[in-house]
Structure 1
Amino acid sequence: MKLAFYGSSLLSSYWNGAATYYRGVLRALAGHGYDITFYEPDAFDRQQHRDIDPPPYAKVVVYPATADGLASVLAEAPRADIVVKASGVGVFDRELIEGVVRHARPDALKLFWDVDAAATLDEMRGAPDHPVLRALPDLDMVLTYGGGPPVVDAYTGFGAAECVPVYNALDPDTHHPVGPDQRFACDLAFLGNRLPDREARVEEFFLRPAAMLADRKFLIGGNGWETKQMPANVRHRGHVYTAEHNAFNCTPSAVLNVARDSMANIGFSPATRVFEAAGAAACLITDAWEGIEQFLIPDEEVLVARDGQDVADHLAQLTPDRARAIGQAALRRVLAEHTYELRGRQVHALFRQHLARERKAA
């Protein structure tokens, strides 16, 4: 079965936090026999910062970020049995969702795959002409990578025929324990791009504890932080490539996850970093959000912080033995319940169920 996927980038994680999610899910689907083509624009310098070469599980078509480039890839949509438009491509998002609806075959399964559902839903509430809202009557399904019941209820309330969360997960072949790397040595590390709806939470959960614990070493990785004023004990690493993530997670005493505002508010939205860190057996400290226990058990598999003071307290009380025990427990949990192999089975079953309903209706 041919699957056409229009997304931000499969090849590069540069200003593209969804990259490892796409890779994990699509690799798993390829294992179920799907013939996948991923269409990504040449935009935002992503092609100059590739993490991987084109993978064996998907054909990757990089198109110019121009009207002609857009037209050339939309013209290929009728060849697919399943056509997916992901959120947050960054260029031609409106034209892509409209083009998927217009160009896909009538018998094709048409999906919107939302990797930032809370933000998309906020936009839809304030814009009656939002392209996703207008496309919902013509879409067979909405998949999201988080959000739980609040997102499902919101999307079905807007008219989605079906909405199913397909959560982030672990690809154990990509993210796994490795030896320490002194480039990433510190007491607490955080990895994430500087974004307007995350910055205040990073200030609270990362920079405030750093200021409180002047004798401890802190490391921040990701794009955009080079102009941010920080305490003297915070070191900025810049963009961290996927191949460096294991060492980044395994070397520090603990690793911090900080959700974006929208995802923290809605809950049930573990970031990719949560599973990457757990897969590397890192001791993870996360900011508090509803639904965390669905993925990791607080105080056993993860440390949960309500604010920066909690982060500082966790670090002050953390011993190497306890950090190791938490990391190992997290690794066992995600290997058992949160791998992309399991997410692939979930999506494959959804596709089969939909096609079975279509055949029955016909």
Structure 2
Amino acid sequence: MKMAFYGSSLLSSYWNGAATYYRGLLKALAQRGYEITFYEPDVYDRQQHRDIDPPEWCSVVVYESTPQALVEVARRAGEADIVVKASGVGYEDEALLLEVLRHAHADALKVFWDVDAPATLAQLRNEPDHPLHRSLPRLDLVLTYGGGDPVVYAYRALGARHCIPIYNALDPRTHYPVPPQARFRCDLAFLGNRLPDRESRVESFFLQPASRSPELAFMLGGAGWDDKPVPGNVAWIGHVGTHDHNAFNVSPRAVLNISRESMASNGFSPATRVFEAAGAGACIISDAWAGIELFLQPNEDILIARDGKDVATILEQLSPARAREIGAAALDRVLRHHTYESRAKLADETFRSLFANPAVEAMA
């Protein structure tokens, strides 16, 4: 089956948190026989910060950020059996969706793949004239990479025929334990770009514990933090490419997961980095959010903090031996239950069920 996938970027993780998700899931779908072409715009200097070469399992078309180029790649939707428009492409998203739907073959399966459902749904609630309102009835399926029942119910209330979460997961061929590296050694590390929906939570869960624990070493990775005031025991190292994620995750005593406010409020939305860190065997400390026990067991595979004070307390009590034990348990659980192969199986079954009978309910 031919799939045309319009997304932010497969080749670059620069200002593109969905890159790991796209790579893991699409590679697993390709192994199931899908012939995939990924279309990504040349925006945000991503092409200057590529961290993988075009893969053998997927064709990649990089197009200029011009209206003419957008229409040209949208026409290619007519060649595919499955047409996917992802959220957050980064250049004229609404226009791209309309053009892709206009050119898709009448018998093609038309999918909106939302990689930031809480933000998209908030936008739809606040903007009654948003083009996606008009497009939802023309789509066969909405997939999300998180959100659980709250997102499913919200999308169906807005007119989506089917909505199914295809959660983040682990690709054990790209994220796995490696020897620790001295450059990433610290007591607690956090990796995430500076975003308005996250910054106050980074202050609470990361910077405040650092201020309370001057004897400990903290490391901050990600873009956009260069002018952010931080305590003296916090080292900011800038953007960390995916080729360094395994070492970044395995070298500190613990790594911190901080959800964006919308993700934490919605729940059921594990970030890609949760599975990356678990795949490396890292000891993860995470902020609390509903549904986390569906993925990792608190106090067994992951440690949960309600606020920055909890983070500081956990660090005080966390021995290196206990941290290694928690990391090993997380690795075991994600390998058994949360790989992209299992996510691709659900996506494949969903696609095939809708092709077989578009009128029936998609598999949940």
Output the TM-score relative to the length of structure 2: 0.98
Give the alignment of 1:228-247 within 5 angstroms: 228-247=228-247
Letter of the aligned partner of 1:78 in structure 2?
G
Matching of residue 213 in structure 1 with residue 223 in structure 2: no
**Contact 2:37 2:61 (8 Å CA) reproduced:** yes
CA distance in 1, matches of 2:130, 2:71: 21
Structure-2 separation of matches of 1:39 and 1:46 = 13
Distance 2:26 2:198 in 1: 28
Mapping for residues 73-222 of structure 1, pairs under 5 Å? 73-222=73-222
Deviations 1:330-355 (A, max 9, x none): 00000000000111111000011001
The separation in 2 between residues aligned to 1:326 and 1:359, in whole angstroms, is 45
RMSD between superposed Cα atoms in Å: 1.1
User: In the alignment, what sits opposite 2:62?
Assistant: 62
- Secondary structure of the 2:208 match is helix
Question: Which secondary structure does the structure 1 equivalent of 2:357 belong to?
Answer: helix
- Unpaired stretches in structure 2, ≥5 consecutive residues: none
* Residue in structure 2 matched with residue 10 of structure 1 by the alignment: 10
Q: What is aligned with 1:330?
A: 330
The one-letter amino acid of 2:238's match is: G
Q: In 2, Cα distance between the equivalents of 1:267 and 1:154?
A: 14
Contact preservation (8 Å) 2:75, 2:100: no
> How many Å separate the matches in 1 of 2:105 and 2:265?
38
Unaligned 5+ residue runs, structure 1? none
| Aligned position for 1:261 | 261
Q: Which amino acid aligns with 2:48?
A: Q
* Whole-angstrom distance in 2 between the partners of 1:91 and 1:359: 33
Shift of 1:358: 3.7
**Mapped pair 1:304 → 2:304:** yes
What does residue 252 of structure 2 align with? Answer: 252
The answer on whether the counterparts of 1:100 and 1:110 sit within 8 Å (CA) in structure 2 is no
Deviations 1:200-227 (A, max 9, x none): 0000000000000000000000000011
| Structure 2 CA distance for aligned equivalents of residues 100 and 196 of structure 1 | 30
Q: Which residue of 1 aligns with 2:357?
A: 357
Q: Which amino acid is 2:9 matched to?
A: S
Give the superposition deviation at 1:359.
9.4
**Aligned counterpart, 1:227:** 227
**Which has the larger displacement, 125-134 or 207-216?**
125-134
Question: Which amino acid letter does the alignment assign opposite residue 110 of structure 1?
Answer: K
- Structure 1 ranges of 4+ moved more than 3 A: none
**Among the aligned pairs, what percent are the same residue?**
64
Residue type of the partner of 2:82?
I
Distance 1:333 1:358 in 2: 35
Give the 3-state SS of the residue equivalent to 2:211 in structure 1: helix
Distance 2:91 2:74 in 1: 14
Superposed, which structure 2 residues align to 1:277-288 within 5 Å?
Answer: 277-288=277-288
TM-superposed deviation, 1:99: 1.1
Q: Distance in 1 between matches of 2:21 and 2:132?
A: 21
Aligned to 1:248, the other structure's residue is in SS state helix
TM-score for the superposition, normalised by structure 1: 0.99
